[in-house]
């Protein structure tokens, strides 16, 4: 277990990102449902309420779409 953690720490220090990639949702999709109750927005978007919360209350889309490279 020690060697695994050491390897992960080394990879992270070299810029490796772990986990599932974040899905980027264009503002054009979210704009019509902003201001609606989350349940209604989720129903219109065809996603769960948890996903609607994450999309609507998370980082502004302009920040998530910027490419650091």
Per-residue pLDDT tens over the stretch 18-65: 998 887 889 899 999 999 999 999 999 999 999 999 898 865 544 444
C-alpha distances out from residue 25 to 14, 38, 39, 69, Å: 28, 16, 18, 20
pTM score, whole prediction: 0.54
Closest CA relative to residue 44, chosen from 21, 66, 13, 55? 55
Distance between CA atoms of 23 and 1, rounded to whole angstroms?
A: 31
pLDDT range class, residue 69, cuts 50, 70, 90: very low
* Domain range list for the chain: 24-69
CB 33 within 8 A of CB 41: yes
Contacts of 48 (CB under 8 A, 6+ apart): 42
């Amino acid at each position: 277990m020690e060697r695994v953690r050491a390897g992960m720490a080394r990879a992270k220090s070299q810029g490796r990102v772990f986990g599932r990639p974040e899905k980027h949702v264009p503002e054009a999709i979210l704009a019509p449902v902003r201001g609606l109750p989350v349940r209604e927005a989720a129903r219109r978007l065809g996603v769960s309420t948890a996903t609607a919360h994450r999309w609507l209350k998370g980082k502004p889309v302009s920040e998530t779409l910027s490419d650091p490279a």
